[in-house]
Amino acid sequence: MHIHEYQAKRLFNDFNIQTPKGILIDKITKAKSACDVLRSDVWVVKAQVHAGGRGKGGGVVLCRSVEEVERASQQLLGSQLITPQTDSKGLLVGQLLIEAGQNIERELYLGLLIDRQTQKITVLASTEGGMEIEKVASETPDKIIKFGIDPLGSLSVQDCTLMAQKLGLNTELTKQFNNTLLGLYEIFTQKDVNLIEINPLIVTQENQLLALDGKIDFDDNALYRHKDIVALRDISQEDEKERLASEYQLNYISLDGSIGCMVNGAGLAMATMDLIEHFGGSPANFLDVGGGTTADRVAKAFELIQTEANVKGILVNIFGGIVRCDLIAQGILQAIETVGLTLPIVVRLEGTNAPKGLNLLDKSEFNIHVESDLTKAAIKIVALTK
C-alpha cells in the first residue's frame, strides 16, 4: 500500500526526521492563507498523487508570489497528472501540499528496502539525489553507498556516522543525518515497510538536512496490524480493477497483453502466463481466483477480464483439488451467461471430476474449447487470439 508525500512527511516528523514546513489544501480558496501562514517569499506547490516523477510531469511548481501559487493550484487541483511513472490517463490531483521553498545546496538520496538476495534490510544512499535512483545505480554504480542490516540485528549510530562520512557530511549535518536514518529504520521495522525513500534529502544553505520528498510502500500482508496506516489509504489513487478484485478476494493485476487469464493458485497462474509467453502470446492480466472458487467469484473474474480493452480471448486454467471440476464447469457456464461473454475461450480443467466437467462445457451451447492438457490449451488460445 502506498501513501501520499504529505502523509509520509507527517510520519517522518513523528520519528524525528525534519521536513520543510508545509500546509495541505484541497481548495484554491485556501491557497492564500496557506502562503501567509508559511511566511516565505518562495513557495512550492506539490501535487499529491501516488506516483513519482511529479517534477518532470509539472506536478511540482516553484512560485515567487501568492498569485503564482493560486495559478498553479488552479491548474493542478482536480486535474489528472501524468508523470513518467503513471499510465497515459494519469492520477487525480485531489490535494496539494504547499511548502516554504528551500535554498538547496546539495540533493542526496536515502532509502531502505529489503534485499531478498542477501536477506537483509539494505540502506541505500547516494550523493546523486533528485534523480531516478535506478538510473544512478545502472549508469554510475560507484555513486551508490550500500549497507546491509541483519533483520534480527539493529542499526547503530556508528553505522549511520560511517554513511554520513561517505556522503561527505560535516559534523553538524552528520548529527542530523543519524537522526534521519535512525528514524527511517524505526518506521521501516515498526510499520512493516517494503520500501521507504527520501529523494531528495537536501542540505540547505543554512546547513540543515531536510526530507524534501517522501515515499513509503507498506507490506499489504501486514496491514491487519497497522490500523493507523490503513486509515491513510486513498482509493482514488488505486487501479479501479485491482480495487474491485480485492473486494471479491481475487488477486488481480492488469497487464498489457491480449490473453485474459483465470487461474486458481498464484503459482499455477505464473506457470500459465509463462506458457502463454513461451508460445508467442502475452497475458492481459494476472488473476488468482483462490482455492475455494465459487460460481459467483468466477463470474466476477470474467467481468473484470472483459473490461480490459485489449483482451482478445480468455484462458481458464483450474486445478480441482478442493473444488470439484464439474462444479467449476457449471460455474463457468453460469458466469458466461450472466456476463454475456462473447470472446473465444479455452478451458483447461484437471483434478477431481475433470472429465465430467470438460464434458459439460463441451456439449454446452457456447463456443468453448476444452482441454485437459495445459500445453495444448496454451497453444490453442494463442492461435485463437492471433
**CA–CA separation, 172 and 336 (whole Å):** 67
Q: What H or E segment, with its residue span, contains residue 377?
A: helix 374-385
Determine if 357 is a binding residue for ligand GDP (CB under 6 A): no
The answer to whether residues 341 and 302 touch, using CB atoms and an 8 Å cutoff, is yes
Q: 221: how many CB neighbours lie within 10 A of its CB? A: 8
Q: Which listed option, Mn ion, ligand GDP, none, makes contact with residue 94 (CB within 5 to 8 Å by class)?
A: none
The residue (of 128 and 213) whose beta carbon lies closer to ligand GDP is: 213
The residue (of 60 and 333) whose beta carbon lies closer to ligand GDP is: 60
Distance between first and last Cα of the chain: 36
**CA–CA separation, 13 and 350 (whole Å):** 54
Cell numbers found for residue 49: 498523487
Q: Which of 333, 335, 334, 338 is nearest to 367 (CA)?
A: 333
x/- binding map, residues 303-332, to ligand GDP, per CB under 6 A? ------------------------------
Active-site residue among 5, 6, 109, 350? 109
Helix 325-339 and helix 354-362, axial crossing angle in degrees, nearest 10: 30
Q: Fill in the DSSP letter of residue 30.
A: G
Active-site residue among 5, 107, 128, 197? 197
Determine if 22 is a binding residue for ligand GDP (CB under 6 A): no
Determine if 50 is a binding residue for ligand GDP (CB under 6 A): no
Q: Which listed option, Mn ion, ligand GDP, none, makes contact with residue 159 (CB within 5 to 8 Å by class)?
A: none
**CA–CA separation, 121 and 105 (whole Å):** 29
Determine if 212 is a binding residue for ligand GDP (CB under 6 A): yes
216-235 binders of ligand GDP (CB under 6 A): none
- The full length of the chain comes to 386
The residue behind cell 489544501 is 25
Determine if 94 is a binding residue for ligand GDP (CB under 6 A): no
Residue 197 among the catalytic residues:
yes
Determine if 90 is a binding residue for ligand GDP (CB under 6 A): no
The residue (of 6 and 302) whose beta carbon lies closer to Mn ion is: 6
| The only residue of 102, 176, 180, 317 in contact with ligand GDP, by rule CB under 6 A | 102
Q: Which stretch binds ligand GDP (CB under 6 A): 9-17, 23-31, 102-110, 149-157?
A: 102-110
Q: Which stretch binds ligand GDP (CB under 6 A): 51-59, 242-250, 290-298, 356-364?
A: 51-59
x/- binding map, residues 191-210, to ligand GDP, per CB under 6 A? --------xx----------
The residue behind cell 478484485 is 245
List, in sequence order, every beta strand (DSSP E) within 8-159.
22-25, 43-47, 60-63, 80-81, 91-92, 96-100, 104-115, 120-126, 144-149
Q: Which residues are catalytic?
A: 109, 197
Interaction site with ligand GDP (CB under 6 A): 44, 52-55, 60, 62, 101-102, 104, 107, 130, 199-200, 212-213
